[in-house]
Amino acid sequence: MGFTLGRCLGAEPSKALPLFPFLLTFLLVGIQGDSNAMDNVATERMAEESHRQDSANLLIFIMLLTLTILTIWLFKHRRFRFLHETGLAMIYGLLVGVILRFGVHVPQSMSDVIPSCAVNASPATLLVNVSGRFYEYTLKGEVSRGKGHQVQDDEMLRKVTFDPEVFFNILLPPIIFHAGYSLKRRHFFRNIGSILAYAFMGTVISCFVIGLIMYGFVSFMKVVGQLGGDFYFTDCLFFGAIVSATDPVTVLAIFNELKVDVDLYALLFGESVLNDAVAIVLSSVLLRLEKQGRQGSGALLPPRGNDPVWQEGAEEWLGENQTLAGSIVAYQPAGDNSHSFEAMALLKSFGIFLGVFSGSFALGVATGVMTALVTKFTKLRDFPLLETALFFLMSWSTFLLAEACGFTGVVAVLFCGITQAHYTFNNLSPDSQDRTKQLFELLNFLAENFIFSYMGLTLFSFQSHVFNPMFIIGAFMAVFLGRAANIYPLSFLLNLGRKNKIRSNFQHVMMFAGLRGAMTFALSIRDTATYARQMMFSTTLLIVFFTVWICGGGTTPMLSFMSIPVGVDSDQDTSSSAVLDGSQRRNTKHESAWPFRIWYNFDHNYLKPLLTHSGPPLTATMPACCGPLARCLTSPQAYENEGQLHDEDSDFILNDASVSSMYADVTVSTDASGSHTINRKHSFNYSAGGGPSDEGLDHELALAEHEVAIRGTRLVLPMDDPVEPPTTVTLPPPPSPPRSDPRRHRL
Amino acid sequence: MGFTLGRCLGAEPSKALPLFPFLLTFLLVGIQGDSNAMDNVATERMAEESHRQDSANLLIFIMLLTLTILTIWLFKHRRFRFLHETGLAMIYGLLVGVILRFGVHVPQSMSDVIPSCAVNASPATLLVNVSGRFYEYTLKGEVSRGKGHQVQDDEMLRKVTFDPEVFFNILLPPIIFHAGYSLKRRHFFRNIGSILAYAFMGTVISCFVIGLIMYGFVSFMKVVGQLGGDFYFTDCLFFGAIVSATDPVTVLAIFNELKVDVDLYALLFGESVLNDAVAIVLSSVLLRLEKQGRQGSGALLPPRGNDPVWQEGAEEWLGENQTLAGSIVAYQPAGDNSHSFEAMALLKSFGIFLGVFSGSFALGVATGVMTALVTKFTKLRDFPLLETALFFLMSWSTFLLAEACGFTGVVAVLFCGITQAHYTFNNLSPDSQDRTKQLFELLNFLAENFIFSYMGLTLFSFQSHVFNPMFIIGAFMAVFLGRAANIYPLSFLLNLGRKNKIRSNFQHVMMFAGLRGAMTFALSIRDTATYARQMMFSTTLLIVFFTVWICGGGTTPMLSFMSIPVGVDSDQDTSSSAVLDGSQRRNTKHESAWPFRIWYNFDHNYLKPLLTHSGPPLTATMPACCGPLARCLTSPQAYENEGQLHDEDSDFILNDASVSSMYADVTVSTDASGSHTINRKHSFNYSAGGGPSDEGLDHELALAEHEVAIRGTRLVLPMDDPVEPPTTVTLPPPPSPPRSDPRRHRL
């Protein structure tokens, strides 16, 4: 729903191509003929027809998704694992693309009226005056036009083509938010150092390695004469950035199903989630740099009209592709192929990178914290619908806020998701916890499968593919080497500092599991105006297909070949007995380097109590002088937890367990989590004396079972005071008939 | 999510105004200057700026909704009932509208370049050639343009204005679907005759009464000289149609909270839900009729250029409003004010009405039935995420399918919702039942509050309001009289046939509770091009404000003044004891007229068993010759229900109870419904011998409690065979630790 509105205002006006956001009025000499009345009626008919056609086109996608869902079910039912649902969606997309391309020929009743007048710019909005009536037009983007029959196909295939910004403004945010919201935080935080190393340094290394290799290939191709257009060093780096974003979806679904070692899982998942953020910021910085270079050099260069290199390149390319589009090539400083990439620019871009990244990070965290505060200090949890709506709106506003401030919305949404999971999730009512998880799970599922089926479709419906065999071979090699340059050296360095080494078979799997997916696709389709970008886009598509089908399908054999332990339960290694649990918790903390340890303590002592109902009361952790403030900010529940003070990080672990069950769809709706979990833990501590015995564990399980029963019946009990805060439940209330519930009201 | 995509393809191209869906190429003599490089960079900057501005604008709406949610919570918390959340949303919208209108003045860097060339039409897509590069523009709609300072305000306020089609393609469908999906079907079906009478005949009566009264007023205004433009009889009828749609939201929320008499509730809810469908089809038929009249008379009339009446009206209006827009006035057959509204046209429009309505109905039911079949014959219920996604996509495809076929999507969605609730809901897994209900509840909540806050905003942000005091007074009188002409005569007629009479205090409440809401607003904002439509829109806004604030707020006093029984539990009067229950069930059936009785039997004997897991097996109800087919279509569970055959309509009643709990947010997540409910009923029948005693009821409640416990723990049990069909659960399985669940996979 929400993303819808994004489309209405937020998404539409962001054009991938140059435009002037001021009005330009065409004062056209309209023909004030009497045929207008008839024209008008015919026009309305045609508009209706067009609307119908569009509905039918959208139906194609819905049917595609429906078909995918049914086939996924069949696969899951029959336990086929060689092909993931995303791979399946791509195949169906491919099939429909083939049909649309070669099967359907809609005759078009087009008549190209060609009036002429002088316009010297392409504004965002056009006002056209037809016989005294003004029509507003909005710029959709630059198009390449062929001639004759080509145009008709264009029209048909262009109908099923989305504005690339749709991906950034509508489809990616829920996917990325879900990734953040479903992060297994304990394992993530245990490996945070390594994950950050892989995500930041690794992506930058990969970007530069791929960029350099591609530059070598492109230079060679230029010598051999295989290159049909310009391709600069910044283009190579841009290509490196977009194909460095690995996808957290496909392999990890398999990992989850097979219960692969949790550390390997955490490393891969954490890396690929942060990866996306790094890649998107990196690519946008590179674009900004390129623009600035263009601006700077544009003024220095001789007029392009007199520049033989540019003319040669452009004509050659126009001849080959029969298109008139593409202008950015023209602004590249032609002559030498090295582009102005200097140390100064590198430093500057590093600064921009840091600024954009930290800004987006701060915004995401800020909205997350605000949501936590609102849900903590209001009794909104009595109305799950309101709570869920608020959660949804706040999370979405992160995206808009970041875009409005000029940061990257997708990155902000990622960190907002992590913050929401870490703090806000604990404040939500159990009902809202389920609702929010399920909502974003669904949005993620739909968006993901839509992107993948669209990817399949694009292979045939996209008009200006440039498949260059040499470039493709080079790209595959570069991607492979770039991934290797990321994983192996970094693993070596990290192993020097890690107690729990990253074994070589883990490294091979990480190397193999570097799938490219939705983010890579979205980044590459964002701008396909120039020859270089078109070649990148086509190549990227092939890389995605290859990695999803081959690497994704080969994961299971690869795991057994590498003898990676499967069937490891992520909960087992921590909660099988309380002693082990406690020691491992301490391990989690002590394994990390000191900055992370400081953060742990700060988070546990101040942030958790401030933002959630759990943790030690602030009155105990804050200095005495802040007494009144601390009392005011601490929730009543926190005092109940005071006895537990020695049991550090318990909420960390417990909440992680609850979040980790998110991936197991069947268990999602009844996991006991949040404050309830903590309360249960608490009562367990008192009833069993906190003793780490098997008997205590059994007791706890029995209590948990009880609680489910209680929660089940609680909702049909007469509850006269809806504002009563949730307290520790130790005894099941007596059952009563459901018909006397006074709280039946509709939100 | 889905509605998002609707925006991408489905919504965008449907323009409210005339357009030619073919390409028109401007071959403009571009200026091939060298300043292009600099231009380009500046352009990109401005595009970024514009994107930021748009994100900020959308943020305003998000903040509005967030504020509304927090205030709603406060109201609910403090049990204020005098203002409903929708009224609140409107007030906040109004405030923001005032601020935007009078508070904010964004200086615009606009320079109106005015080139001139000849265009004789306004196509859907424009291709503009700027220096050899082609830009594609899409038609957004016709705009009215003022001069000077006015333009700047325009720009600011136009930014927060949505395409009216957004309401029809994105915001209304979830609202209407939710209304259908949450219909209390038992009470609905018990009163179906009366509901249909109010909805169909009542709306048509109301439409014509309002139309005639308004025609009188308009004629009088014309004589007095108060009318600033043309206003025809079809316009009056159109106005009657749009203000005849009553809103099912506000009053019913209060009714639900106060537990008003179920029959009154059912009558009002059923009427206002079907009402919307009738009004939307009626208004579209009137529009179509008007167009045809225009087409027919357009050819007969003298050229408009020579028509003094048109020129006078248009100039007068242009002078008053300082705008240049509005063309449809010009196409009305000027001269006499009666318009061509003849008996033939009336008959024809009745035919169109029936065609569109029944087509939409059939499509909606068809998709619902298809979803029921798919969910019945696949084991999709093992994967709630897939099931929910499928349910969502199928429901959405109804809308697209109807639009693609030229029917009314919103109406199709309504009947799809009812069908889904009646059949598909029973096939879904309990998890999916919750998920789908919660999802559509959330979508409904967001869409509704968005519409109402937008309504408030529009009062100030809309550019061409026409507030005519006389027209407004007339409209309020007409709306009042139209409602009276709907309720009182029809109630009198219906009481002749009803055993359970509609008492006069019920009639007064129905009269009073005729609120106008989202549908009326959406219909009136759809086309605001002419003077008549603008006056209608402004008046409609005031009617909505008045009814929501005054009638909505006065509902509680009204109920006590009319001594309507409150605190009636809808479940109590049927399930307090099984004898009463059974007799009332039979009543439900026997109270209805014979067509409904036939339908009951057909539905229970054939449709329910065919489409769901419940009901008697088809082998028992179908003739012997169809044996093999019947066996193949009957689900295994149905045979278990065979013993219950005497217990007719039980699924009807039980499912109704489960759906009725939808409005009580707090009870929503644990109601036992669908096949589980039936299974429980089944085991109860055997264990307590089907005896209608209080002991049996207690037993059932105990079982229900057990079942919740089972369902809670079932999910953490080792289930080795996920494809096992759900069977009757009578004994709780032994609890086991949660860590050995092998079904943890991610969808």
pLDDT in tens, B317-331: 333 333 322 232 333
More confident residue, A629 or A335: A629
- Give pLDDT tens digits for A187-243: 787 788 888 899 999 999 999 999 999 999 999 988 888 787 788 888 899 999 999
Q: In terms of DSSP H, where are the helices of A592-662?
A: 594-602, 608-611, 618-621, 627-633, 636-640, 650-660
Q: Which of B64, B108, B111, B128 to mutate to test the interface with A (most CBs of A within 10 A)?
A: B128
Most confident of A167-171, A674-678, B213-217, B578-582: B213-217
* Chain A residue with minimum CA distance to B719: A666
Task: Give the pLDDT of residue B398.
Answer: 92
Question: Residues of B numbered 250-289 whose beta carbons fall under 8 angstroms of chain A's beta carbons: which are they?
Answer: 252-253, 256-257, 259
Cα distance from A621 to chain B (closest Cα, Å)?
A: 31
Q: At B21, give phi and psi (nearest 5°).
A: -80, 40
> Which residues pair with residue B137 across a beta bridge?
A139, B126
For residue A8, give the nearest of B1, B7, B29 by CB distance. Answer: B7
Of residues B635 and A528, which shows the higher confidence score?
A528
Residues 6+ apart with CB under 8 A from B680: B672, B700, B703, B704, B707
- Relative orientation angle of helices A250-258 and A262-300, to the nearest 10 degrees: 170
Nearest residue in B to A694, CA atom: B737
CA distances from B104 to B107, B143, B744 (A): 10, 22, 54
**Beta-bridge mates of residue B126:** B24, B137
B4-18, B400-414, B507-521 — which is least confidently predicted?
A: B4-18
What pLDDT does residue A482 have?
93
Between B65, B257, B401, which is nearest A746 by CB?
B257
Question: Rounded to whole angstroms, how far apart are CA atoms B191 and B502?
Answer: 11
Q: Are B687 and B698 in contact (CB under 8 A)?
A: no
- Give the CB-side neighbour count of residue B467, counting CA atoms within 13 A: 8
Ramachandran assignment for B226, one of left (phi > 0), alpha (psi -120 to 50 degrees), beta (any other): alpha
Asked if A383 lies within 8 A of B73 by C-beta distance, the reply is yes
In this prediction, residue A366 carries a pLDDT of 94
The answer to whether A37 contacts B304, with C-beta atoms less than 8 Å apart, is yes
pLDDT of residue B412: 93
Tell me, yes or no, if B25 comes closer than 8 A to chain A by beta carbon. yes
Q: Which residues does chain A have within 8 Å of residue B405's beta carbon, measured at their own beta carbons? A: 52
Residue B133 main-chain phi, psi, to 5 deg: -105, 140
Average the pLDDT over B402-413 and give the result: 89
Strand-pair partners of B24? A113, B126
Chain B residues within 8 A of A669 when measuring between CB atoms? 384, 431, 434, 669, 715
**So what's the pLDDT on residue B377?**
85
CA distance B199 to B411: 13
**8 Å CB contact of B145 and A127:** yes
Residue with the larger pLDDT of the pair A618 and B209:
B209
Q: Count CA within 13 A, CB hemisphere, residue A679.
A: 20
DSSP secondary structure letters along B46-100: HHHHHHHHHHHHHHHHHHHHHHHHHHHHHHHHHT--SS-HHHHHHHHHHHHHHII
Using the predicted structure, report yes or no on whether residue B475 has a pLDDT greater than 90.
yes
CB-based contact, B37 to chain A, within 8 Å: yes
What is residue A415's predicted lDDT score, i.e. its pLDDT?
Answer: 92
Residue with the larger pLDDT of the pair A323 and A531: A531
Residue with the larger pLDDT of the pair B297 and B209: B209
Residue with tokens 């091009």: B529
The alpha-carbon gap from B623 to the nearest alpha carbon of chain A, in Å, equals: 33
Q: Which of A18-32, A424-438, A569-583 has the weakest average pLDDT?
A: A18-32
Q: What is the pLDDT of residues B665-719, one digit of tens each?
A: 332 233 333 333 333 333 333 333 333 333 333 343 334 434 433 333 333 333 3
Read off the tokens for A444: 């993620």
B287 contacts in A (CB within 8 Å)?
none
Does the CB of B28 have a partner CB in chain A at under 8 Å?
yes
The secondary element (H helix, E strand) that includes residue A40 is: helix A36-78
Q: Looking at residue A165, what is its pLDDT?
A: 78
Q: Whole-angstrom Cα distance, residue A354 to residue A376?
A: 32
User: A601: closest CA among A634, B161, A609?
Assistant: A609
For the stretch A520-543, pLDDT in tens is 999 998 888 788 888 999 999 999
Which whole number is the average pLDDT over A36-46? 60
**Dist. CA A138–CA A47, nearest whole Å:** 17
Q: What is the pLDDT of residue A364?
A: 94
> Which residue in the block uniquely carries the two structure tokens 């809810």?
B269
Q: Is pLDDT larger for residue A88 or for residue A695? A: A88
Residues 570-609 of B with CB under 8 A from A: 571-572, 575-576
Give chain A positions within 8 Å (CB) of B447.
1
> Over the stretch B175-203, which tens digit does the pLDDT of each residue have?
889 988 987 667 787 788 888 899 999 99
pLDDT of residue A413: 92
In the sheet that B133-143 helps form, which strands lie side by side, from edge to edge? Answer: A20-26, A123-130, A133-143, B133-143, B123-130, B20-26
Give how far B191 is from chain A: nearest CA, Å. 22
Q: Which residues pair with B26 in a beta bridge?
A: B128
State the average pLDDT over residues B368-391. Answer: 89
pLDDT > 70 in chain B, percent: 60
Cβ pair B364, B379 in contact under 8 A = no
**Mean pLDDT of the region B447-471:** 87
Which residues 668-707 of chain B have a CB within 8 Å of chain A? 668-670, 697, 701-702, 705
The strand pair at A133-143 and B133-143 is best described as: antiparallel
CB-CB under 8 Å, A51 with B13? yes
pLDDT, tens only, A353-402 = 889 899 999 999 999 999 999 888 888 888 889 999 999 999 989 999 99
- Regarding predicted confidence, which is higher, A414 or B729? A414
Q: Which of A438-452, A635-649, B633-647 has the lowest mean pLDDT?
A: A635-649
CA distance B86 to B444: 12
Q: Tell me, yes or no, if A315 comes closer than 8 A to chain B by beta carbon.
A: no
B599: exposed, middle or buried (Cβ count in 10 Å: 0-12, 13-18, 19+): middle
Work out the pLDDT band at A38, boundaries 50, 70, 90.
low
Going along B103-250, which residue ranges are E strands?
123-130, 133-143
The band of A305, judged by pLDDT with boundaries at 50, 70 and 90, is very low
Strands A20-26 and A123-130: parallel
For the stretch B38-65, pLDDT in tens is 555 566 677 777 778 778 878 888 888 8
State yes or no: pLDDT of A82 exceeds 50.
Answer: yes
Nearest to A51 among B256, B403, B712 (CB): B403
- Across the interface, of A54, A130, A669, the residue whose CB is closest to B122 is A130
Instruction: Say which residue, A68 or A675, is predicted with more confidence.
Output: A68
* Whole-number average pLDDT of chain A: 68
Residue in B55, B171, B416 to test binding to A, most A beta-carbons within 10 Å: B55
Nearest to B50 among A13, A441, A701 (CB): A13
Option in A23, A31, A745 nearest B120 (CB): A31
Closest approach of A468 to chain B, Cα-based (Å): 25
Interface mutation vs chain A, best among B1, B32, B100, B134, most A CBs within 10 Å:
B1
A406 touches chain B (CB under 8 A): yes
Q: Is B110 on the interface with A (CB under 8 A)?
A: yes
Q: Higher-confidence residue: B160 or B37?
A: B160
Nearest CB neighbour to A390, from listed B69, B404, B723: B69
Q: Which of A139, A327, A701 is nearest residue B137 as measured by Cβ atoms?
A: A139
CB contact residues (below 8 A), chain B span 502-521, against chain A: none
When scoring B133, B440, B667 by the number of chain A Cβ atoms within 10 A, the one with the most, hence best to mutate, is B133
Would you state the pLDDT for residue A212? 93
Looking at the partner chain, which of A14, A128, A711 has a beta carbon nearest the beta carbon of B51?
A14
Residue of higher predicted confidence among A301 and A260: A260
φ/ψ (deg, to 5) at A20 = -105, 120
Query: CA torsion B492→B495→B501→B506, rounded to 10°?
Result: -30
Encoding tokens for residue B739?
Answer: 């860590």
| pLDDT of B116 above 50 | no
Average the pLDDT over each of A118-127, A263-272, A415-424, B724-733 and give the range with the smallest value.
Answer: B724-733
Distance CA B353, CA B584 (A): 36
CA distance B149 to B155: 10
Percent of chain A with pLDDT over 70: 60
pLDDT band at residue A600 using 50, 70 and 90 as cut-offs: confident
Helix (H, G, I), strand (E, B) or coil at A105: coil
A636 touches chain B (CB under 8 A): no
**Which of A130, A139, A404 is closest, CB to CB, to B135?**
A139
Please state, in angstroms and rounded to a whole number, the distance separating the CA atoms of residues A738 and B668: 12
Instruction: Enumerate the β-bridge partners of residue A113.
Output: B24
Mean pLDDT of chain B: 68
Mean pLDDT of A697-717: 37
Q: Kindly state the average pLDDT of the residues A300-305.
A: 32
Q: Dump pLDDT digits (tens) for B527-564.
A: 887 888 889 999 999 999 998 888 888 888 888 888 88
**Confidence class of residue A287 from pLDDT cuts 50, 70 and 90?**
confident
